[in-house]
Amino acid sequence: MLRYLGKRFLLILPTIFVPLILVFLLLRLSPGDPAGMMLGDQATAEQIAALRTQLGLDQPIFVQFLLWLKGIVTLDLGNSIFFREPVMQIIPRYAGVTILLTLVALTLAVLIGVSMGLISAMNRNKPIDRGVVTTAVLGISLPEFWFALLLIFLFAVTLRWFPVAGYNPPSAGIVAFAATIFMPAMALGVRQSALMTRMMRSSMLDVLNEPYITTARAQGLPESTVIGRYAMRTAAMPVITVAGLSAGYMLGGAVTIEIIFALPGLGRMLVEAVGRRDYPLVEGGVLTISLVLAVLNLAIDLIYAILDPRIRYQ
């Protein structure tokens, strides 16, 4: 198992560093000068040049890149050009919101997707199956922002169950936290939930036609044992793959939801930091997202190895 995890760890290293290198180069090659934006239109060329020297922007890109790598190793990501604070202090304030939003959305997507897919497969060609399939197709077709606006109109404006926007951290109480995270999580997870529903239905139908399932039923085992002990374990494998991909999709797509619901998340912070040409903050945000994705992928690989021991020895 340790050897397998070691191999997977080495394979995820490119997913961390390749995006970082691309973002580093794109920021440096894109138009706009952070020093000029900080000082404003009234600044003189001498003032801008002095600030560029202070920020290290006057050095060659290769030297800036080496200094940046050194900062990653030493956990010193520099100071935000806009906030004038260490990036290592700013990122946690925003990253926690996005990570919690993604985890809640992913949990809801898995629970709803697996449940609906299982119900649909167990009632194949019945009205409930057709209803689930139709709903899943609609869920895949709907854009997240449209579904978010629909949730706001229904639950916040019409029923007044939840606030329109804003965020309460878990420290404010589970009820207050749930009230502000439910609609964003549902909007973010609706498409992935629909995908998991279709994947679970298809996978379960294939598994139910396998000879070992027929044998288990012929031996007189209860249907709950056949499904829960034998069919679910195999049928869940493709869903785990979709869940891993969905986590990455949600992290990247959270920015739209964060803007609509006014959540102080990492995606919203990155958009604002790019507009301000805040190089250290953008690089720190991308590094955080890359690390979270790497950990999620490693966790998915570990779950794979637990469910299917053959994978450990490949």
Residue 85, number of CB atoms within 10 A of its CB:
12
Does residue 203 contact residue 237 with C-beta atoms inside 8 Å? yes
Query: Using only C-alpha atoms, what is the Rg of the chain?
Result: 24
Residue 223, number of CB atoms within 10 A of its CB:
11
Q: Three-state secondary structure along 13-35? A: HHHHHHHHHHHHHHHHHCCCCHH
The neighbouring-strand residues paired with 86 are 79
Helix (H) or strand (E) holding 227: none
Q: What is each CA distance from 34 to 3, 53, 85, 149, 223, in whole angstroms?
A: 45, 12, 16, 35, 65
Helices (H) and strands (E) in the chain, counts: 13, 0
pLDDT at position 197: 92
pLDDT at position 193: 92
Three-class SS state of 43: coil
Phi, psi dihedrals of residue 292, rounded to the nearest 5°:
-65, -45
Integer Cα distance of 52 and 58 in angstroms: 6
Closest listed residue to residue 250, CA positions, set 44, 48, 46, 101:
101
User: Tokens for 141?
Assistant: 């077709």
pLDDT at position 58: 75
> To 5 degrees, how large is the angle CA 117–CA 109–CA 99?
160
Residue 169 burial by Cβ neighbours in a 10 Å radius (0-12, 13-18, 19+): middle
Those residues whose C-beta lies under 8 Å from the C-beta of residue 246, and which sit 6 or more positions away, are: 106, 109, 189, 192, 195, 196
Does residue 294 contact residue 301 with C-beta atoms inside 8 Å? no
Does residue 197 contact residue 116 with C-beta atoms inside 8 Å? yes
Integer Cα distance of 308 and 289 in angstroms: 28
Report if pTM > 0.85: no
Task: Go through the domains of the chain in sequence order and give each one's CATH number.
Answer: 87-313 (1.10.3720.10)
Phi, psi dihedrals of residue 86, rounded to the nearest 5°:
-60, 135
Length of the chain equals: 314
Low-confidence ranges of the chain (pLDDT < 50): 313
pLDDT at position 184: 93
Integer Cα distance of 67 and 56 in angstroms: 9
Burial 181-213 (b: 16+ CB within 10 A, else e): bbbbbbbbbbbbbbbbbbbbbebbeebbeeeeb
